[in-house]
């Protein structure tokens, strides 16, 4: 320590003791003139003026624990760098900018005492460290703020970025909390903070044990750092006793290869580095003279063996460091201990954390499975919705309609156009649903009358002709709506998600699609089994000539059935448009999957379609779960699986046998 700084320290100490003396002496007199906050500030004036992160603590604590109503106001102003000190008497004021003038407000009354002038006042400029200390002190006030929203905000702020000091403040605020929800949140947060910050080991372990099986994100975020390990290496046969050792590693085992172990030694500067091919290259280049390195011609150095030989020749001359031999490496590894240690010193805490994490892991898997099931169900409902129209046109009538995807697209664009005219989202959907049905119904009927009617019993040609329609419709949509995605927005009440816990959540829109799929299943079953139309449809598909002789007009029935199937595609388009984006490729994305759904499920049976959708949806999610980074691969594998599946059940999950199957 230099002489001058020693002198400064001495002066400061003198000043401090003087100040304390003066303060003690004059307080009775000044207390009447100054408000309680100002008085407190004047008591700590020296510390505040100094504004050093090391020493400011007592001043902030004094304010924080004063219990004064105006203390938090001052702290907030201080944190916001709007506290000024009057040079004349050293009093503190809160600056308040209004109408271009900066007024000085009394720290106790909040009344203006005049304008802050540039030469008469000094602004306090707390640095980042001090401001966060002020923030921590403020938390206790916010935790007890009368406004529940501010209390919740404070809890969230603490949870985001907790500090040891919060724990005390939090504990202090629980007693007086009256809102049960906030109280529960506070108690939970208190337990979480206890794990990290409580100095008492038993309290921490109790807190950890208390969270057994709890899948909350906050708990996992708190416990996981506790059991974080890092690899270390020390000379000798034992890890140092000061370390909380997770496990000792044996070089050459699965968890630590020889190379990794030696690299660790090198990194810890406990062994000489291996010479890499890069090093050899660099060393050789550095030692080129007259077109050769030592006795080796440069032109010959085009293999690793030749380069190594040349390098070893250099090393033998002592020009370059030699690479450690295998024996040296083995010796180095044998004389050192490799282990993983916890950053947390207490082994009792890490043991408890590991045990709790294990119990959490079990619950987590259960909950993730539930979440996965919900995901799969919702994907299955989308596939089912997309495929149900096909189940009618392809499954019941045997007509293959490759433009089915474009009918879905048509429905989605209907939704988009309706929203252009009807800004109310709820109302627009109510209008769009029947409108989409009507439009695609009409499109389906038109297509049946103009094209498909002439191609019954020529499925391959139907396929090709409807492909033509598909190509044309897609390009038409591109010409009209452009290639970029169009918005079709769900109403507010469909926004958000149903949250069960931190792991399981399902968005309302997925629930709506699921419900819609169920409704369609019910409608389909009702129409096919309970109505005259359904009876006639079944009659016509089973034996058109016989049906015709019974007075049923097969032309009309075919037309209506095809229209019905197409109309359902339109409504599916609304649902899919709400779920994703409306593009001209929207239909294409679903067409192959939809056909797969119908084929895998078993043609001609709606429950087959349901089973197919469930299987394909579940499968796709399952593959995504195993390989979450790659949804493209998931689709690839799913299609491969379906190709294989058809090997074993060529007629689908729910198969018809006998003559009916020969259709």
CA pair distance 535, 527, nearest whole angstrom: 9
Least distance (Å) between residue 334 CB and other proteins: 32
Least distance (Å) between residue 647 CB and other proteins: 5
- Phi then psi dihedrals of residue 477, to 5 deg: -60, -40
**Class of residue 632 by CB neighbours under 10 A (exposed 0-12, middle 13-18, buried 19+):** exposed
CB nearer to other proteins: pick between 465 and 506: 465
Q: What is the DSSP letter of 303?
A: S
Whether 575 and 508 have beta carbons less than 8 Å apart is answered as no
Residues between 187 and 206 with contacts to other proteins, criterion CB under 8 A: none
At 511, which helix (H) or strand (E)? helix 508-530
CA pair distance 449, 469, nearest whole angstrom: 14
CB nearer to other proteins: pick between 129 and 650: 650
CB nearer to other proteins: pick between 165 and 466: 466
Residues between 88 and 107 with contacts to other proteins, criterion CB under 8 A: none
Stretch that binds other proteins, among 158-166, 373-381, 454-462, 558-566 (CB under 8 A): 454-462
CA pair distance 597, 614, nearest whole angstrom: 9
CA pair distance 64, 71, nearest whole angstrom: 7
The structure tokens listed for 496 are 């958000």
Distance of CA 323 to the CA centre of its chain: 47
Binding flag, residue 476, other proteins (CB under 8 A): yes
Question: How many Cα neighbours within 13 Å face the side chain of 264?
Answer: 22
Binding flag, residue 295, other proteins (CB under 8 A): no
Q: Which residue has the tokens 């390195």?
A: 293
CB nearer to other proteins: pick between 467 and 625: 467
CB nearer to other proteins: pick between 336 and 404: 404
CA pair distance 449, 643, nearest whole angstrom: 34
User: Which one among 474, 561, 583, 597 touches other proteins, defined by CB under 8 A?
Assistant: 474
User: Which one among 157, 273, 451, 527 touches other proteins, defined by CB under 8 A?
Assistant: 451
Binding flag, residue 127, other proteins (CB under 8 A): no
The DSSP string of 317-369 is TTSSPPPPPHHHHHHHHHTEEEEEEESS--HHHHHHHHHHHHHHHHHHHHHHH
* Alpha helices per DSSP H over 34-68: 36-43, 45-50, 57-64
CA pair distance 570, 617, nearest whole angstrom: 21
Whether 185 and 155 have beta carbons less than 8 Å apart is answered as yes
Binding flag, residue 355, other proteins (CB under 8 A): no
CA pair distance 290, 282, nearest whole angstrom: 17
User: Which one among 301, 353, 432, 513 touches other proteins, defined by CB under 8 A?
Assistant: 301
CB nearer to other proteins: pick between 228 and 285: 285
CB nearer to other proteins: pick between 194 and 323: 323
Least distance (Å) between residue 468 CB and other proteins: 3
Least distance (Å) between residue 222 CB and other proteins: 35
Binding flag, residue 659, other proteins (CB under 8 A): yes
Whether 383 and 616 have beta carbons less than 8 Å apart is answered as yes
CB nearer to other proteins: pick between 147 and 662: 662
The DSSP string of 164-193 is HHHHHHHHHHHTT---HHHHHHHHHHHHHH
Query: Which x/- pattern over 382-421 shows residues binding other proteins (rule: CB under 8 A)?
Result: ------------------x---------------------
User: Which one among 200, 460, 484, 549 touches other proteins, defined by CB under 8 A?
Assistant: 460
Binding flag, residue 66, other proteins (CB under 8 A): no
User: Which one among 259, 304, 424, 492 touches other proteins, defined by CB under 8 A?
Assistant: 304
Number of H helices, E strands in the chain: 26, 12
Least distance (Å) between residue 454 CB and other proteins: 6
Binding flag, residue 592, other proteins (CB under 8 A): yes
Least distance (Å) between residue 279 CB and other proteins: 13
Residues between 325 and 344 with contacts to other proteins, criterion CB under 8 A: none
304-317 burial: b if 16+ Cβ within 10 Å, else e = eeebbbbbbbbbee
Least distance (Å) between residue 443 CB and other proteins: 14
Whether 342 and 231 have beta carbons less than 8 Å apart is answered as no
Binding flag, residue 479, other proteins (CB under 8 A): yes
Binding flag, residue 650, other proteins (CB under 8 A): yes
Per-state percent for the chain, helix, strand, coil, to nearest 5: 65, 10, 25
CB nearer to other proteins: pick between 266 and 313: 313
Least distance (Å) between residue 543 CB and other proteins: 10
Whether 370 and 498 have beta carbons less than 8 Å apart is answered as no
Residues between 269 and 288 with contacts to other proteins, criterion CB under 8 A: 281, 284-285, 288
User: Which one among 175, 178, 200, 662 touches other proteins, defined by CB under 8 A?
Assistant: 662
Q: Is the dihedral of CA 453, 455, 457, 459 positive or negative?
A: negative
Least distance (Å) between residue 484 CB and other proteins: 15
Least distance (Å) between residue 302 CB and other proteins: 4
CB nearer to other proteins: pick between 527 and 646: 646
Least distance (Å) between residue 314 CB and other proteins: 14
CA pair distance 407, 390, nearest whole angstrom: 11
Residues between 217 and 256 with contacts to other proteins, criterion CB under 8 A: none
Residues between 128 and 187 with contacts to other proteins, criterion CB under 8 A: none
Whether 236 and 332 have beta carbons less than 8 Å apart is answered as no
User: Which one among 107, 233, 599, 613 touches other proteins, defined by CB under 8 A?
Assistant: 599
CA angle 521/463/585 to nearest 5° reads: 70
Q: Which of 584, 424, 437, 569 minimizes the C-alpha distance to 490?
A: 424
Least distance (Å) between residue 628 CB and other proteins: 14
User: Which one among 42, 470, 583, 620 touches other proteins, defined by CB under 8 A?
Assistant: 470
Total number of residues that touch other proteins (CB under 8 A): 61
Least distance (Å) between residue 598 CB and other proteins: 9
Binding flag, residue 546, other proteins (CB under 8 A): no
Binding flag, residue 545, other proteins (CB under 8 A): no
CB nearer to other proteins: pick between 203 and 471: 471
CA pair distance 500, 235, nearest whole angstrom: 51
Residues between 68 and 87 with contacts to other proteins, criterion CB under 8 A: none
Binding flag, residue 656, other proteins (CB under 8 A): yes
Binding flag, residue 547, other proteins (CB under 8 A): no
- CB under 8 Å to 217, separation ≥6 — which residues? 502
Stretch that binds other proteins, among 168-176, 193-201, 593-601, 605-613 (CB under 8 A): 593-601
Residues in contact with other proteins by CB under 8 A are 281, 284-285, 288, 298-304, 307, 400, 451, 454-455, 457-461, 463-465, 467-476, 478-479, 592, 595-596, 599, 630, 632-633, 635-636, 639-640, 642-644, 646-648, 650, 656-660, 662-663
């Amino acid at each position: 320590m230099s002489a001058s700084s020693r002198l400064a320290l001495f002066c400061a100490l003198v000043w401090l003791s003087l100040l304390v003396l003066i303060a003690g002496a004059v307080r009775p007199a000044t207390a009447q003139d100054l408000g309680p906050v100002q008085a407190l500030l004047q008591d700590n004036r020296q510390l505040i003026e100094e504004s050093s992160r090391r020493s400011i603590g007592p001043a902030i604590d004094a304010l924080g624990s004063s219990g004064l109503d105006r203390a938090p106001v001052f702290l907030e102003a201080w944190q916001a760098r709007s506290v000024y000190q009057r040079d004349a008497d050293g009093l503190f004021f809160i600056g308040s900018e209004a109408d271009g003038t900066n007024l000085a407000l009394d720290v106790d009354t909040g009344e203006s005492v005049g304008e802050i002038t540039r030469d008469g006042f000094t602004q306090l400029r707390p640095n980042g460290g001090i401001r966060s200390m002020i923030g921590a002190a403020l938390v206790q006030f916010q935790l007890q703020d009368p406004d529940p929203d501010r209390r919740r905000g404070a809890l969230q702020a603490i949870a985001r970025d907790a500090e040891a000091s919060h724990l005390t403040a939090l504990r202090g605020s629980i007693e007086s909390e009256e809102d049960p929800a906030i109280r529960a949140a506070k108690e939970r947060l208190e337990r979480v903070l206890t794990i990290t910050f409580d100095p008492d080991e038993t309290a921490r372990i109790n807190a950890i044990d208390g969270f057994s099986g709890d899948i909350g994100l906050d708990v996992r975020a708190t416990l996981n750092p506790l059991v974080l390990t890092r690899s270390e290496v020390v000379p000798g046969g034992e890890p140092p006793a000061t370390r909380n050792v997770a496990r000792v590693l044996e070089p050459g085992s699965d968890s630590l290869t020889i190379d990794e172990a030696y690299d660790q030694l090198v990194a810890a500067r406990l062994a000489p580095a291996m010479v890499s091919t890069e090093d050899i290259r660099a060393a050789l280049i550095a030692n080129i003279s007259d077109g050769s390195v030592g006795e080796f011609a440069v032109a010959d150095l085009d293999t690793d063996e030749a380069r190594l030989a040349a390098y070893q020749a250099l090393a033998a001359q002592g020009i370059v460091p030699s690479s450690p031999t295998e024996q040296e490496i083995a010796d180095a590894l044998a004389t050192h201990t490799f282990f993983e240690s916890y950053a947390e010193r207490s082994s009792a805490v890490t043991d408890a954390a590991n045990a709790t994490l294990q119990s959490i892991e079990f619950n987590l898997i259960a909950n993730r499975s539930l979440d996965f099931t919900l995901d799969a169900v919702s994907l299955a409902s989308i596939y089912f919705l997309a495929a149900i129209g096909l189940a009618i046109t392809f499954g019941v009538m045997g007509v293959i309609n490759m433009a089915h995807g474009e009918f879905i697209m048509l429905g989605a664009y209907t939704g988009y156009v309706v929203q252009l005219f009807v800004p109310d989202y709820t109302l627009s959907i109510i209008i769009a649903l029947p409108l989409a049905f009507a439009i695609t119904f009409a499109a389906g009927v038109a297509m049946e009358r103009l094209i498909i009617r002439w191609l019954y019993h020529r499925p391959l040609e139907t396929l090709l002709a409807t492909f033509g329609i598909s190509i044309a419709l897609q390009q038409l949509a591109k010409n009209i709506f452009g290639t970029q995605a169009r918005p079709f927005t769900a109403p507010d009440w469909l926004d958000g998600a149903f949250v069960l816990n931190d792991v399981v959540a399902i968005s309302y829109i997925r629930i709506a699609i699921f419900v819609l799929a169920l409704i369609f299943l019910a409608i389909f079953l009702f129409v096919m089994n309970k109505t005259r139309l359904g009876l006639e449809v079944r009659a016509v598909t089973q034996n058109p000539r016989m049906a015709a002789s019974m007075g049923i007009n097969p032309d009309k029935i075919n037309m209506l059935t095809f229209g019905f199937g197409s109309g359902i595609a339109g409504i599916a388009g609304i649902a899919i448009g709400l779920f994703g984006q409306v593009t001209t490729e929207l239909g294409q994305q679903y067409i192959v999957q939809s056909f797969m759904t119908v084929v895998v499920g078993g043609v001609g049976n709606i429950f087959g379609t349901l089973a197919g959708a469930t299987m394909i949806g579940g499968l796709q999610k399952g593959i995504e779960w195993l390989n979450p980074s790659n949804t493209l691969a998931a689709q690839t594998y799913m299609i491969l699986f379906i190709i294989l599946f058809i090997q074993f059940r060529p007629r689908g999950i729910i198969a018809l046998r006998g003559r009916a199957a020969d259709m």
